[in-house]
Amino acid sequence: MRYHKAMPDSSLFPNQPSRRALLGALGAFVAAFACATSLARAVTYEVTHTDAEWHKILSPEQYIILRESGTERAFSSPLDEEKRAGTYECAGCRLALYDSSTKYDSGTGWPSFFRPLPNAVLTSVDTSFGEVRNEVHCRRCGSHLGHVFDDGPKPTGLRYCMNGLALIFILRS
């Protein structure tokens, strides 16, 4: 006859947290990030449209990126290779976001900038895909533009990694 050892009584280990306590702490952590993201999205924007209006204004691909926080495939945007002088605007509301003098080749496959124009973008915490990132939104219409990372060049050390479909390039004359 075989005997199995009984699991240790939790009273023998009073300083070890229980599974219920660990799950509760994890739930609180997830809820805190969800609230932070929801609060960022609760901002009232100058430019607003109904969902039906956004569908009319944007292409289906732009709608997924700007309104549903989608991401285009790397190296798919012609704006990644754009080298001319100009301004990059939000495809949702045409707010000027970035000057071409702040654009650089990050090698990631998305148009990248080290600094937005003043009062052009907002950021919020993005916890999708099991990681914490800083999502970048248009300040005027709230459209999702991309993410900002701390691995960019001087002088800011930031990399604003933008979806090309979220931007419109205006050539400087």
The sign of the CA dihedral 49, 52, 53, 54 is positive
**Distance (Å, rounded) from C-alpha 170 to C-alpha 173?**
9
Return phi, psi of residue 125, to 5°. -80, 130
Residue 47 neighbours by CB under 8 Å, 6+ apart: 92, 93, 140, 141
| Residue of 93, 138, 141, 161 marked catalytic | 161
Q: What angle do CA 78, 82, 86 make, to 5 degrees?
A: 125
Q: Is 141 a catalytic residue?
A: no
Q: Which amino acid is it at 45? A: Y
**CA dihedral of residues 39, 64, 73, 132 (deg, nearest 10):** 10
Active site residues: 161
